[in-house]
Structure 1
Amino acid sequence: MYTYSATQWIFGNEDIETSLIRLKKYGYDGVELAGEPYKMDLERIIELLHQYEMVCTSICGIYTPERDLSSSDPAVRGNAIQYVKDCVDMAERLGAKLVIVVPAPVGKTAPDPQSSAAAEWSNAVNSLQEAGQYAAAKPVKLAIEALNRFETYLVNNLTTARRLVEEVKVKSVQIMADLFHMNIEERNHTEALRMIAPYLIHVHIADNTREAAGLGQTDFEPIMKTLAEIGYEGSITMEFLPPVSNPYLAASSDGAAEIFDDYTERSIREIKRVLTRIG
């Protein structure tokens, strides 16, 4: 039996309590919170999670240019490492099992002018080793997310994510799979999932349009069957978004509650329907 959650930052500027009420209404078990440890009232969030009998499944790191783990600028890289550590502390406090990590920030589609891809890869490895060792002591895991080529450049597919994890060689540093990015970058969903099976600790669900599951062309049946066959035991986390070029724009928007309700209900209903079908 999977734990179902949704990424709260997709609801934009909506108050966290409103989001939790929606998730509870449609049968979710928990929430994935944005990695903003400097802005969130964690005591209030803990109280609300208890009130609505929800869990915090994970922390979704928000990787902006000043949080660049691959940067060749020591100050930027140091700030990024500290940010991941602070997200790990946030996860520990909220009882979350993992923090999502993107090695190069959203919007960075090439190496910095004074650097190179090889140098930035090495920087990312070193950064993840330090952050991963910190996480291991909590214990919290780091989940490397591969973003598509239009959003970042260093880690775009699961093959590259696996290579990065195997170079880092820290057990707390693992991999997550995001179905939207996979729709762009992977030639075969099920083969890609089997390839990262030893490291897979988290899954994001969205259709090929990045909308709620069931609104696009993605065939979720073989995907969910493969997750079951490889023994995946993490949460199923919905991360649907409106059609924006930069996903972080959604975090600062004031969306329509009726659309959020529709997508939230539709996503869990579709995945549960698929799981019932495959038994």
Structure 2
Amino acid sequence: MFRYSATQWIFGDEGIEASLKRLQKYGYDGVELAGEPYSIDIEHTKRLLKQYGLICTSICGIYTAERDLSSSRPEVRQKAVQYVKDCVDMASSLGAAHVIVVPSPVGKSRPETTSSEEWANAVNSLKEAGEYAASKQINLAIEALNRFETYLVNNLETALALAKEVNVDSVKIMADLFHMNIEERSHVQALKTIAPYLVHVHIADNTREAAGMGQTDFEPVIRTLIELNYQGPITMEFLPPVANPYLAASKTGSSEVFDLYTERSIQEMKRIVQKITGTASA
């Protein structure tokens, strides 16, 4: 019913082959690769994906201060837009359908100028990047991050307003359950509100650990996705408890913990799907 993947950058500085081997072991369909188009070896990655029988479902953009689509500085915006375009090229080369975009970077708690000006900057940046993505038949998926990580787009209603103002067919929305646990009053209603734009989902529990290890009730979420005939991937994005999630990418983690979380996440999703549909999830 769903294609399951996991974000590779959550495994820290682990080599990509080790990550792909883990995903194959626990029955995943694909991987979401970090948006680092300037360092990845595309041909080597293609060979590894083929070797382990996995697809690249998506590219997770990494939005630092130097990649700020809303910046008041034109040179920063220009570099940010080019970065998204380069991620689109990366996605196209690897057969991925989606590139995740965050309008204002992690760590930006307030505007450099005004919120309205930076909103307009984000709209213009996404128009340009979105038109390029459309030419490559790639979706840009706007991700709303919680108020403690950034300021401009914190919930799905705001992401919807942004996508509508951009008004480019390739600019869609993704839903991240960790951020939704903080910002949304109702998972179900939020998903229904953005349904026409929903192309991607990230799964983590309220603790940001693997699904099933915290307090999130995922059953209504999965039931709603099934009812909405959601066609995108279900991507696991569990993380260690750090204030800045990008710090995880520079840390060496425990392979035992990675194994536990990777297995637990997909088992929890498949258990829920089976409970709802009465059939085992492949």
TMscore range, shorter length: over 0.9
Residue 40 of structure 1 aligns to which amino acid in structure 2?
I
Deviation at 1:65, TM superposition (A): 0.3
Query: Given the alignment of the two structures, is residue 2 of structure 1 paired with residue 19 of structure 2, yes or no?
Result: no
Deviation at 1:231, TM superposition (A): 1.1
Q: Which residue of 2 aligns with 1:135?
A: 133
Structural mapping, 1:100-179, within 5 Å: 100-112=100-112, 115-179=113-177
Q: Which residue of 2 aligns with 1:201?
A: 199
* TM-score (norm: length of structure 2): 0.98
Q: Which residue of 2 aligns with 1:276?
A: 274
Residue 65 of structure 2 aligns to which amino acid in structure 1?
P
Deviation at 1:43, TM superposition (A): 1.1
Q: Secondary structure at the match of 1:34?
A: strand
Q: Secondary structure at the match of 1:176?
A: strand
For 1:68-91, what per-residue CA distance to the aligned partner results, in whole angstroms no more than 9, with x for missing partners? 000010000000000000000000
How many Å separate the matches in 1 of 2:138 and 2:9? 21
Structural mapping, 1:260-275, within 5 Å: 260-275=258-273
Structural mapping, 1:40-59, within 5 Å: 40-59=40-59
Q: Which residue of 2 aligns with 1:251?
A: 249
Deviation at 1:139, TM superposition (A): 0.8
For 1:101-131, what per-residue CA distance to the aligned partner results, in whole angstroms no more than 9, with x for missing partners? 000000001001xx11000000000000000
Q: Secondary structure at the match of 1:143?
A: strand
How many Å separate the matches in 2 of 1:43 and 1:246? 31
How many Å separate the matches in 2 of 1:85 and 1:231? 29
Q: Secondary structure at the match of 1:187?
A: coil
For 1:128-173, what per-residue CA distance to the aligned partner results, in whole angstroms no more than 9, with x for missing partners? 0000000000010000000000000000000000000000000000
Q: Which residue of 1 aligns with 2:90?
A: 90
Q: Secondary structure at the match of 1:48?
A: helix
How many Å separate the matches in 1 of 2:73 and 2:242? 30
Residue 14 of structure 1 aligns to which amino acid in structure 2?
E
Q: Which residue of 2 aligns with 1:229?
A: 227
How many Å separate the matches in 2 of 1:218 and 1:137? 38
Unpaired stretches in structure 2, ≥5 consecutive residues: 278-282
Deviation at 1:236, TM superposition (A): 0.4
Deviation at 1:41, TM superposition (A): 1.0
Q: Which residue of 1 aligns with 2:65?
A: 65
How many Å separate the matches in 1 of 2:272 and 2:124? 40
How many Å separate the matches in 2 of 1:211 and 1:232? 24
Q: Which residue of 1 aligns with 2:280?
A: none
Q: Secondary structure at the match of 1:204?
A: strand
Q: Which residue of 1 aligns with 2:209?
A: 211
How many Å separate the matches in 1 of 2:39 and 2:251? 17
Residue 176 of structure 2 aligns to which amino acid in structure 1?
D
For 1:12-38, what per-residue CA distance to the aligned partner results, in whole angstroms no more than 9, with x for missing partners? 000000000000000000000000000
Query: Given the alignment of the two structures, is residue 39 of structure 1 paired with residue 39 of structure 2, yes or no?
Result: yes
Aligned length: 277
The Cα RMSD (Å) is: 0.4
